[in-house]
Amino acid sequence: MSADTATPFASLTCYDATTARWLARAGVQCLLVGDTAAEMVLGYPRTIDMPLDVLIALTAGVKRGSEQGGGTVVMGDMPFMSYQASPDNAVRNAGRFLTAGLADIVKLEVDSTLAPLVDRMVRAGVPICAHVGSRPQRVAITGYSAAGRTASEAERIVADARAMQDAGCSMLLVEAVPEAVTARIMDIAKVPVIGIGAGSACHGQVLVLQDLLGLTDTAPAFAEPVAALGQAIKSAGEKWVAKVAARQVGPSPYRMRDAAPPKARSGHEQA
């Protein structure tokens, strides 16, 4: 993907091989195995609860599934504390996403202070997507909120994006910022920019799949569902419950091959 892409490309989060296969067949160009799996798959209330080893395993599953569907770019998302503790640990974990996780590119939430780390990862051979703007892994400090709504915040985010490009990132992801901030980032962009809640000007757009499919009870304001699969799953479950209760599952399709079924014994034989 190049920064001069004329047609915006589509990205969605994905956490399993079966869904990846179908999304690849749909033509989705990039699948993000996000730390949102903590909420969508594991049932945690925050993304920062996502275990590293689990996310690496999910990333590999998505890659294998996407290849079954024709292939697409798969992005692994470095979870909380997988890169903040030390540079050595960070580079090692990023490399695991490429090897064990089969990822094509690795994403981490950053500001300009992490430019040396991104530079080191890139020099080690890891393609990086730098996530700027709203950063959910800082929820314990900031809560879930938009970013860049003051002049000083906007300047900082644009500076973050510039620093990441200078450090060699292959892609930028901009989350939950005003369109004026997005426009300034697009003006300086030399790599593809993915937006989420950042307006339509970006080279690509990403959403959490469950928000798009109508599976979440409360979706963000920028995520408009295109389906109502939550209700469809509920309806299917209700039909199955009724079918089982009415003993309408049907007979077993399997038959004995080389022996007659055992005869029922009489009451005298049982005694």
Q: Is 155 annotated in the active site? A: no
Domain count, the chain: 1
What's the pLDDT score for residue 270? 55
Asked if residues 29 and 70 have their Cβ atoms less than 8 Å apart, the reply is no
Asked if residues 213 and 227 have their Cβ atoms less than 8 Å apart, the reply is yes
What's the pLDDT score for residue 27? 98
Domain membership of residue 259 (yes or no) is no
229: left (phi over 0), alpha (psi -120 to 50) or beta: alpha
Domain membership of residue 2 (yes or no) is no
CA 89 from centroid of its chain's CA atoms = 22
Domain membership of residue 264 (yes or no) is no
Domain membership of residue 132 (yes or no) is yes
Domain membership of residue 250 (yes or no) is no
Amino acid in the structure at residue 237: G
CA atoms within 13 Å, Cβ hemisphere of 84: 10
Asked if residues 134 and 141 have their Cβ atoms less than 8 Å apart, the reply is no
Domain membership of residue 46 (yes or no) is yes
What's the pLDDT score for residue 258? 80
What's the pLDDT score for residue 49? 97
What's the pLDDT score for residue 1? 57
What's the pLDDT score for residue 121? 98
Residue tagged active-site, from 39, 67, 155, 175: 175
Full pLDDT tens readout for the chain, 271 residues:
556 557 999 999 999 999 999 999 999 999 999 999 999 999 999 999 999 999 999 999 999 999 999 999 999 999 999 999 999 999 999 999 999 999 999 999 999 999 999 999 999 999 999 999 999 999 888 878 899 999 999 999 999 999 999 999 999 999 999 999 999 999 999 999 999 999 999 999 999 999 999 999 999 999 999 999 999 999 999 999 999 999 999 999 999 988 666 666 666 555 4
Asked if residues 196 and 222 have their Cβ atoms less than 8 Å apart, the reply is yes
Domain membership of residue 182 (yes or no) is yes
Separation CA 82–CA 154 (nearest Å): 27
Q: Where are the beta strands (DSSP E) in the chain?
A: 9-13, 30-33, 73-77, 105-109, 128-133, 171-175, 193-196, 204-207
Structural domain boundaries, residue 97 = 9-212
Domain membership of residue 79 (yes or no) is yes
Looking up residue 81, the CATH number of its domain turns out to be 3.20.20.60
